[in-house]
Structure 1
Amino acid sequence: MAPKMLNFITGNENKLTEVKAILGDTVDLQSQSLDLVEIQGAIEEIAADKCRRAAEAVKGPVLVEDTCLCFNALKELPGPYIKWFLEALGHDGLNNLLAAYPDKSAQAVCTFAYCEGPGHKPVIFQGRTNGKIVPARGPTNFGWDPIFEYQGQTYAEMDKVEKNKISHRFLALEKLKTWLQSEA
């Protein structure tokens, strides 16, 4: 049986490369960049809303992702707003947010939402990796990876193959893969 064709809604080449590496030949993944309005709210609400909008726009099956970085000392902020916090503050500024707190623990959260098409309810798949926020180490070409440390290494310092075996994105995509295989 041929793999299911999915429109992965992203303009981020690094995300696309990681998702393709993790999903392998489970699905026929096509990338499409859409400028979607993003609501404010809980992680799952944001992903589901974005997924519904994308399914309407492409008139077919879609996969969207929402990635968060949640600082435990800040009650999970910046959370789904990490993209804007990172743009405004940079890696040093994100570290400075935690300067007054002894707790530097954080969660990397990845939420994928899949929708069969317009009018269908999105299905949510989420992965969380516990780590801590550290001064930036490693290449700075992929978002907040240089400041999120997992078991002694930042995501940026990790070999991509190794990162793809433990990351929040991997954990969420494993759930998606299992679900897709059960639906086939």
Structure 2
Amino acid sequence: MSKREEKGVNSNDKLLLVTSNENKFREISEVAKSYGIKIEWLNIPKFEIQADNLEEIVRYSAITIYQVIRKPLIVEDSGLFINALNGFPGPYTNYVRRKLGLEGILKLLNNVEDRSAYFKTVMCYVSDKEINLFTGVVNGRISERIRGEKGFGFDPIFIPENEERTFAEMSTEEKNKYSHRAKAFMSFLNYYMRENRKT
């Protein structure tokens, strides 16, 4: 019996994930499989606003897309927060990755002793009944150099707590044991299945 059957989720329910990032879809799908849930992928860009926190960004995006397609959906946004840089790049992570890249972040931390950082994901679930946010955080540190060929984004320079490998040196299954994104999605799934028990 799957976790879905144990929890009594309605088999007619479908989860729609909005993202233009195939890697994010794969990671989330891997977690969903263990719950016996299939995720449908809506491959479109998020409608993003400039804001200083992930919650505001993802909430706006999810509501905007829901108003167009009128189907229950999930939108996520993630950020890398580096303590020595006062939380930078945070909600600007994707932009900074495109403009500075991995090498740019490593240069900013050149000769910096405190390399502690954390990844944070915020997911927003919107339906005709509700708007809810779910958060996942993983603490770790920035590596001294780029390591690994798996993963995406800043994975090659982020080492989660209690590990010596970067995310980019792990398989998707291994990464999901630590991942901020997996934590946020599992938090959502636990809520979703509680709220959708069969009567």
Of 151, 157, 173, the match for 1:161: 173
For residues 28 and 163 of structure 1, the distance between their equivalents in structure 2, rounded to whole angstroms, comes to: 20
> Which residue of the partner structure matches residue 127 of structure 1?
136
Amino acid at match of 1:46: I
Tell me if the contact between 1:4 and 1:28 (Cα under 8 Å) persists in the aligned partners.
no
> Which residue of the partner structure matches residue 15 of structure 2?
6
> Which residue of the partner structure matches residue 72 of structure 1?
83
Instruction: Mark the runs of 5 or more structure 1 residues left unpaired by the alignment.
Output: none
CA shift, 1:6, in A, is 2.0
Amino acid at match of 2:16: N
> Which residue of the partner structure matches residue 90 of structure 1?
101
Tell me if the contact between 1:107 and 1:131 (Cα under 8 Å) persists in the aligned partners.
yes
Describe the shift of the 1:33–1:63 C-alpha distance in structure 2 as closer, same or farther (beyond 3 A). Answer: same
For normalisation by structure 1, the TM-score amounts to 0.92
CA shift, 1:100, in A, is 5.2
Q: What is the total number of aligned residue pairs between the two structures?
A: 182
For residues 170 and 67 of structure 2, the distance between their equivalents in structure 1, rounded to whole angstroms, comes to: 37
More strand by share: 1
Range 21-30 or range 140-149, more displaced: 21-30
For residues 27 and 54 of structure 1, the distance between their equivalents in structure 2, rounded to whole angstroms, comes to: 22
Over the aligned positions, Cα root-mean-square deviation in angstroms equals 1.6
Q: Residues 77-105 of structure 1, C-alpha deviation per residue, up to 9 Å, x if partnerless? A: 10111111111111111111222532111
Report the secondary structure of 1:35's partner residue. coil
Larger Rg belongs to: 2
> Which residue of the partner structure matches residue 38 of structure 1?
48
Describe the shift of the 1:97–1:140 C-alpha distance in structure 2 as closer, same or farther (beyond 3 A). Answer: farther
Question: Deviating runs (4+, > 6 A) in structure 1?
Answer: none
Q: Residues 102-139 of structure 1, C-alpha deviation per residue, up to 9 Å, x if partnerless? A: 2111101111110004xx55211110000111111000
Instruction: Mark the runs of 5 or more structure 2 residues left unpaired by the alignment.
Output: 1-9
Amino acid at match of 1:85: V
For normalisation by structure 2, the TM-score amounts to 0.85
